[in-house]
A = this chain, B = another copy of it.
Amino acid sequence: MRKCIATVSVSGTLTEKLAAIAAAGFDGVEIFENDLISCPLSPEQIRDRAAGLGLGIDLYQPLRDFEAVGPATLEHNLRRAERKFRLMERLGAGMLLVCSSVSPESADDDELAAEHLHALAELAARHGIRVAYEALAWGRHVNEYLHAWRIVRLAGHPNLGTCLDSFHILSRGSDPIGIEAIPGDKVFFLQLADAPLLAMDVLQWSRHYRCFPGQGGFDVAGLVRHVLNTGYQGPLSLEVFNDVFRQSDARRTALDAMRSLIALEESLDRREPGPVIPTGFAFTELTTGTAAAARTPGPSAGDTFTPAPGEAATLVGLLAALGFARTGAHPTKPVEMWEQGEARILLNATGTGAALAAIGLETPDPAASARRAEDLLAPVLPRERAPGEAPLEAIAAPDGTQIFFCRSGRADHPDWTGDFAGEPAPPTVSRPGPVTATPTPPTPPPPGCVTRVDHVALTQPWHHFDEASLFYRSVLGLRPLESMEVPQPSGLLRSRAMAGPDEAVRMVLNQARVGARQTPWQHVALACDDIRSIARRLRAEHPGLLLPIPGNYYDDLEARHDVGPEIRELGLLYDRDEHGEFLHLYTITVGRIFFEIVERTGGYRGYGAANAAVRLAVQHARGPGAP
């Protein structure tokens, strides 16, 4: 389908907007009147600029407060419209959007409104222009899409049709199935926007919080299906007013917008996307920094659990203390593999410090997963490999995290883990004394070992949170679960959990503080079946490794729940929902990284968000650079 976007949806001047929209591959634009008014180019120059970029001007918008007025105002409004039609001819725009009136002067009189719109359409016809009448959700008398259609039908002019807007329809809770009452050739235009489900004044909601389809809570695809069932042949056009998008880089926003339409089209097919959806974590890759790398003060707590020459050694010691064993090293790159249960962690001795650089995901067909990601405008990473190494398909997420698609340990696919199968190279980093990480294949895990990765938590720059949500949702097939606002010393942390089919891949996206310049903490949560054993062993052998939890937390926990003294003694955190219980603990932070150990029982579905406030306060108190 033809894909358009309203110029109001992205930032910049009109010429900057057009360039960004064209670069993202759109076919056309809706020109928002204010953008034209502020533009130094003449309408003819704007027309030529758009054409040179391969963009049609599908709609000019909006004409406001036109219909159902007194005779003098009607005369004024027709004069006003006549000037706009002349402008549109110069611009080469063939359709005008008319919003239902919000003026106190307008009458609640469908026949009068129809008569006036007929006159407008008649005038438009003389200029070869068509008029699309839309019910604003906050229109004074006309605020339901079927009401707008009733008036359009009453007017009965070939140059008059209706414009449907998913926000105006879904924000009022109207059932979109009624769209199928409208003949497809009378649906002149379709505007699409999603929005988070908020209980607020609909005008403010529309003006500030619209987002691209797939980023909010509306069933936009369901609405589009009804529109297509009418026989509608026009474009899918995004019209989004969003405070964050208005401030963000126009080219990035336009790509995000295009991704939302591609994902929407895919979901319209109702076809399963094929063997492309990840089925589990293959690995997480952490950079450890190099000795030579310039070190700047990071968010590290500073008081790591054992004196160590740097973050690399601290991370190695931490993994060993958690029960991971070094099981291999890459023959040509400074990368080691560490394993425990099904959890694999790659330590990469590059970068400027401890950080999460990449996530490997198992999929049935890595090449197909990468192709689909590329179709969804994910940048594909260059595939550098030495002869004999297994191919690895990789893309970049909006936050810079590398996503690898893997098929590990299957006979039908080259196995990337084979690249780590040889004798590990000599340790690239020294390890502290008390830790015994053997450079041999894994010994049987101790009781209470880590079984696999439970989830990975990534913090997103504040102005790319919706973009990241859509990316992980569409490219990795994760569906959004609970959204939380967690109090932390420097503000409320917005947090959204997402999970794929069978919860095999879980991720948590956190939103960095508004205006924060430093990219903050990421963490890897490791699942186990017996967290008490792990906590007991760590308390005995590495007491400084665990993030200390205030006694006041346990006083409150014991007042609210019947929990035994063991929780306090072991320094665990506790949560429960209607399904089960959640026990967890956090390690100290190394560079930008920390680990969480979690045990879920009885089908607990959350992420311990209730305890995140305590963690954040303790992390804040221990060091600078809280996210």
Task: Identify whether the interface residues of A are mostly helix, strand, loop, or mixed.
Answer: helix
Looking at the complex, which of A104-112, A116-124, A277-285, A612-620 is the stretch in contact with chain B? A612-620
Q: Mark A173-217, 1 if CB is under 8 A from B, else 0.
A: 000000000000000000000000011110010011000000000
A620 to B555, CA, bound (A): 56
From known contacts A243-B491, A491-B247, infer whether A548 and B40 are also in contact, taking CB-CB under 8 Å: yes
With contact pairs A83-B559, A199-B204, A515-B514 given, residues A614 and B37 touching in the complex (Cβ less than 8 Å): yes
Q: Is A413 an interface residue (CB 8 A)?
A: no
In the complex, which of the residues B15, B201, B492, B551 contacts A199, with contact meaning CB atoms closer than 8 Å? B201
Query: What are the interface flags for A510-531 relative to B under an 8 Å C-beta threshold, 1 for contact and 0 otherwise?
Result: 0001110000000000000000
Determine the chain B residues whose CB is within 8 A of the CB of A38 once the complex forms. 550, 552-553, 613-614, 616-618
Binary contact track A315-346/B, C-beta < 8 Å → 1, others 0: 00000000000000000000000000000000
**CB of A601 closer than 8 Å to a CB of B:** no
Tell me if B83 and A558 are in contact (CB < 8 A): yes
Residues of B within 8 A of A200 (CB): 198-201, 204
C-alpha spacing A614/B339, complex, angstroms = 60
Report whether B13 and A621 are in contact in the complex, using a CB–CB cutoff of 8 Å: yes
Interface residues of A in 492-519 (CB under 8 A from B): 492, 513-515
CA distance A553 to B8 in the complex (A): 17
Question: Is residue A473 within 8 Å, beta carbon to beta carbon, of the partner chain?
Answer: no
Pair A12/B198 contact, Cβ less than 8 Å = no
Task: Please tell me if A73 contacts chain B, counting CB pairs below 8 Å.
Answer: no
Q: How close is A98's CB to chain B, nearest CB, in angstroms? A: 15
Cβ-based interface call for A424 (8 A): no
> Is A43's beta carbon under 8 Å from chain B?
yes
Interfacial chain B residues near A246, Cβ < 8 Å = 487, 490-492
Q: How far is the CB of A556 from chain B (nearest CB, A)?
A: 5
Q: A120 vs B313: C-alpha distance in the bound complex, in angstroms?
A: 55
Contact status A80-B560, CB under 8 Å: yes
Interface size on A, residues (CB 8 A): 59
Of all chain B residues, which has the CB nearest A200?
A: B200
Residues in B whose Cβ lies below 8 Å from that of A491: 11, 243, 246-247
Q: Which residues of chain A in 23-54 are interfacial with respect to chain B, using CB atoms and an 8 Å cutoff? A: 33-34, 36-43
Please state if B551 and A42 are interface contacts (CB–CB under 8 Å): yes
The reply to whether B37 and A552 contact each other, CB–CB distance below 8 Å, is yes
Inter-chain contact A198/B199, CB cutoff 8 Å: no
**CB <8 Å contact, B617 and A87:** no
Tell me, yes or no, whether A489 is within 8 Å of chain B by CB: yes
B residues in contact with A15, CB < 8 Å: 621
Residue on B nearest A559 in the bound complex, by CB: B83
Give complex CA distance A43, B36 in Å: 62
**A489 vs B201: C-alpha distance when bound (angstroms):** 25
Q: Which residue of B lies closest to A555 (CB)?
A: B87
Q: Which of A229-244 contact B (CB under 8 A)?
A: 243
Q: State whether the Cβ of A219 lies closer than 8 Å to any Cβ in chain B.
A: no
Provide the A54-85 mask, 1 if CB < 8 A to any CB of B, else 0. Answer: 00000000000000000000000001100110
* A524-562, CB < 8 A from B: 548, 550-553, 555-556, 558-560
User: A16 interface residue, CB < 8 Å from B?
Assistant: yes
CA distance A620 to B39 in the complex (A): 11
Within 8 A of B (CB), among A542-601: 548, 550-553, 555-556, 558-560
Residues of B contacting A614 with CB < 8 Å? Answer: 37-38
Residues in chain B near residue A39, CB distance under 8 A: 550, 552, 617
CA distance A8 to B487 in the complex (A): 10
- Do residues A489 and B12 form an inter-chain contact, with CB atoms below 8 A? yes
Q: Which residues of B contact A490 (CB under 8 A)?
A: 11-12, 246-247
A16 neighbours in B (Cβ, 8 Å) = 489
What is the minimal beta-carbon distance from A312 to any residue of chain B, in angstroms? 29
Instruction: Give bound CA distance, A247 to B620, whole Å.
Output: 13
Please report the C-alpha to C-alpha distance between residue A485 and residue B208 in the assembled complex, in whole angstroms: 11
Complex-state Cα separation, A78 to B403, whole angstroms: 51
Shortest A622–chain B CB gap in Å is: 9
Chain B positions within 8 Å of A11 at CB level: 489-491
Chain B residues contacting A34 (CB-CB under 8 Å) are 487, 613
* CA–CA, A617 and B39, complex, Å: 8
Q: Are B201 and A198 within 8 A (Cβ)?
A: yes
* A-to-B contact residues, CB < 8 Å: 8, 11-13, 15-16, 33-34, 36-43, 79-80, 83-84, 87, 198-201, 204, 207-208, 243, 246-247, 462-463, 485, 487, 489-492, 513-515, 548, 550-553, 555-556, 558-560, 613-614, 616-618, 620-621
What are 22 A-to-B residue pairs whose CB atoms are below 8 Å? A8-B487, A11-B489, A12-B490, A13-B620, A15-B621, A16-B489, A34-B613, A37-B553, A37-B613, A38-B550, A38-B618, A39-B552, A40-B618, A42-B552, A84-B559, A198-B201, A199-B201, A200-B204, A208-B492, A246-B487, A246-B491, A247-B514
Additional A-B contact list (14), CB under 8 Å, known A12-B489, A198-B201: A11-B489, A11-B490, A12-B490, A13-B621, A39-B617, A40-B618, A42-B552, A79-B559, A80-B560, A83-B558, A198-B200, A200-B201, A247-B490, A514-B514
Q: Which 4 A-B pairs have the closest CB atoms?
A: A38-B617, A200-B200, A199-B201, A515-B515
